[in-house]
A and B are shown apart, each in its own frame.
Chain A
Amino acid sequence: MTDTVRTSAPSAAAAKHLKRRRARDGRFRYYGLTAIFVALGALAVLVLTIGSQAFSAATYHVVKYDVTLDPAVIAPEGANRPADISRNVEGFYGLVRDNLLTTFPEAEADRLSRRELSDFVTRLAVLPTARMVANNPELVGNAITLTAPLNDDLDLYLKGNGVRERKIKTGTVSSVQGEEDGTFRLSGTEAFEAVVAGLAVAGVDRAEDAGQPDVLLTAGVSTGRLTEIGAGSARMELLTGRAQDFAQARPTARIIVSAESERTISDRQIAWVLALKEMGRVDRVPRWTLLTNSDSTYPELAGGLAAIVGSLLTMLITALVAMPIGILAAVYLEEFAPRNRLTEFIEVNINNLAAVPSIVFGLLGAALYINFLGMPRSAPLVGGLVLALMTFPVVIIASRAALKAVPPSVRSGALAVGASQMQTVFHHVVPLAAPGILTGAILGMARALGETAPLLLIGMVAFVGDVPRSPTDESTVMPVLIFSWSNNAERAWEPLTSAMIIILLAFLLVMNGLVVFLRRKYERRW
């Protein structure tokens, strides 16, 4: 430090003032940082919760069935009638059900267990196979491996989300003896000690009247339910497989905390699905059907294709209507319109229009397009027009801001070489403002893509199982599909809803990425 540089305040009062000023600076920065972290944190929590939910819906379990395509069942009218084959869901489903009954003959015993077994696969799950066979009639009569998604509750169980259970490895079972009532006595030195201890722990967080927790014992493809458990011996009711499998084995015990009546899946179903898994017939595969299937009442078959196509058609209509109207209005207002009371009034009302709650546009759309003009309900055409009403004020405002940002020197330069006003605007001003105009337009579209409320009012909330082929077909859109799915009661819809949200977010991300790309690519400095 030299003497010429003043490093301390000239007086005590000034020093105090300086200190306070620095403290204020510091505090302000701190507040700013806090605000950023709060915002980022909220975003991270949102993405993580939805993402972790969605992750489990990214894969699902399918079961393989080796079936012979018996012509009498599959194609009673002959193999050369593909339309009949592809519609013969009942025949294919029968093959699958027979296959299951052959694998688990014990299910023949009563109607309840037959129903429980047929719950494994929904009828419509065989439809893709039926269509495939219809397209390849030479397969009729041959043996094929048919793959169908597992029932959603069992899928959740295999993912570890469905039923609370504790797995315990038991000791070696030395002997298995059949009893008179059809149950089996398993014994082995301290074989079930760990299970008894586990039961004591599990009993703690059980309600008083819930009774004993279920204990399932699995060895290979065989599973039984333990009814009496001691440290050295237990009585077992065989659910599937053979009792001999337990002899000289170390079976796995599953303590299932909730009683059978409180669950959506029975002990028998658990036993069967474990057996199928043991046989290597269950695969966990990526759930592409989320993108290739349309909506279904069965979560394992449901997908978003119809809604994605519906959204794209709706956006197409919105873009075709809102962008030309918005951009032309903005160019006219900004570059050509005289400044007077009327244009000011129009300007104020465009701003007002941008602030109108979106549901109001839905009411307007229902009244104007559907009731008055008689357009079809639930159609992307109407949805797109309603969203266009909502979007074009945003496009106007963004475009005007972009046009205003073009320096006047560019305009005077063009006018001075003798360009007409229109040439000036369209050769110079609009190209320079184009990145900003496109940004505004795409952001407006992104907002419209995520819009739900106005579309509910024009009937786009209907269940749509078919992919719309034109803007006048019945359709739904992604956010509305998310809304409908989130209203469903079954637990399997929860991860599906999250997965659909992630898909919607991906679309929005692509649109915003496009904005950044266009800005970077076409931004010109002057």
Chain B
Amino acid sequence: MDTTQGTPAMMDDTLTLPRTADGAPRIDCRNIKVFYGEAQAIHDVSMSFPDRAVTALIGPSGCGKSTFLRCLNRMNDTIENCRVEGEILMDGENINDEDVDPVLLRSRVGMVFQKPNPFPKSIYDNIAYGPRIHGLANGREDLDAIVEKSLRRAGLWEEVKDRLTAPGTSLSGGQQQRLCIARAIAVQPEVILMDEPCSALDPIATARIEELIDDLRSRYCIVIVTHSMQQAARVSQRTAFFHLGNLIELGDTNQIFTNPREKRTEDYITGRFG
């Protein structure tokens, strides 16, 4: 048990770590190249992701946007034959360095997947798993507080507070995805990566997730891959358009959707290909 009595530490706002100034780059990618065996999937991409903002990665299927996203928390390490070159700087440290522990990195860079993938455990354990393995909670009360806070932040608390012991898989698709977001939040990340988080959801659940993303923007650096241009326009402040493994255009979302500089971007967002 925690020796400090009174309000558990987690009840105040310490989930939010010290931040850089608004709009300052949280992650800075330099000359990223990704290879699957001999095939090159990403060609020399350099871009940065601002803190407390949503960056959308759009582009046709197979353009490399998911691959690029997975570079940011080194999930590509788990794919055999996959090789990443280039520098990705977080707090001035290259996360691709040999001595960076991907496990620690992933606790700073959370990820939400295309298909909701709650663990086949209780709702509570889904959230508590991350804090437990990272030792973020001192005792049961602390853990309860983290679970509640994470669920509240993911807008799921009111719906599940009476059945925390029910299996996570018993929730609806939209609730499962919010549970996954809560799970990612629970380990106090600085960055949240979302890989098409709404593609398996109905429009109402999608709308709730989008609201949630908008809420979370005030605390986290969010990178979202999406196939839906409307979604990108709705939730993001910056948009990057990828095509065939190249970053074609990067800019403010407004500018990309109203006044794209590149012909290919315009063709794509007006539905001429993709």
Contact surface of A with B, Cβ cutoff 8 Å: 338-339, 407, 409-420, 423, 427-428, 432, 524-526
Contact = CB atoms under 8 A, between A and B. Distances in A.
Given A410-B120, A428-B119, A525-B120, A416 B129 contact: no
Given A410-B119, A427-B133, 9 more contacts: A412-B113, A413-B119, A413-B183, A415-B78, A416-B73, A416-B106, A417-B129, A417-B184, A418-B134
B78 A412 contact: yes
A418 B133 contact: yes
A469 to B, nearest CB: 45
B119 A418 contact: no
A419 B133 contact: yes
A413 B103 contact: no
Contacts of B117: 407, 409-410, 412-413
B130 A418 contact: yes
22 contacts: A338-B80, A409-B113, A409-B115, A410-B120, A412-B75, A412-B78, A412-B111, A413-B113, A414-B119, A416-B75, A416-B106, A416-B110, A417-B130, A417-B184, A417-B186, A418-B104, A418-B106, A418-B134, A419-B129, A423-B133, A427-B133, A524-B120
A27 to B, nearest CB: 41
B129 A427 contact: yes
B59 interface: no
A423 B130 CA distance: 11
Interface residues of B, number: 28
Contacts of A411: 78
B169 interface: yes
Q: Is the contact region of chain B dominated by helix, strand, or loop, or is it mixed?
A: helix
B180 interface: yes
A418 B100 CA distance: 13
Nearest to A338: B80
Nearest to B170: A525
B80 A417 contact: no
B50 interface: no
Contacts of A409: 113, 115, 117
Contacts of A419: 103, 129-130, 133
Nearest to A416: B111
A417 B183 contact: yes
B187 interface: yes
A410 B134 CA distance: 18
A432 B120 contact: yes
B118 interface: yes
B239 interface: no
Contacts of B104: 418
* Of listed A416, A525, A526, residue having the most chain B CB within 10 A: A416
Contacts of B67: none
B236 interface: no
A457 to B, nearest CB: 43
B265 interface: no
Nearest to B107: A418
Given A423-B133, A525-B169, A413 B118 contact: yes
A418 B106 CA distance: 5
A526 B169 contact: yes
Nearest to A420: B103
A414 B125 CA distance: 12
Given A409-B115, A428-B119, A415 B130 contact: no
Given A409-B113, A409-B115, A417 B120 contact: no
Contacts of B129: 414, 417, 419, 427
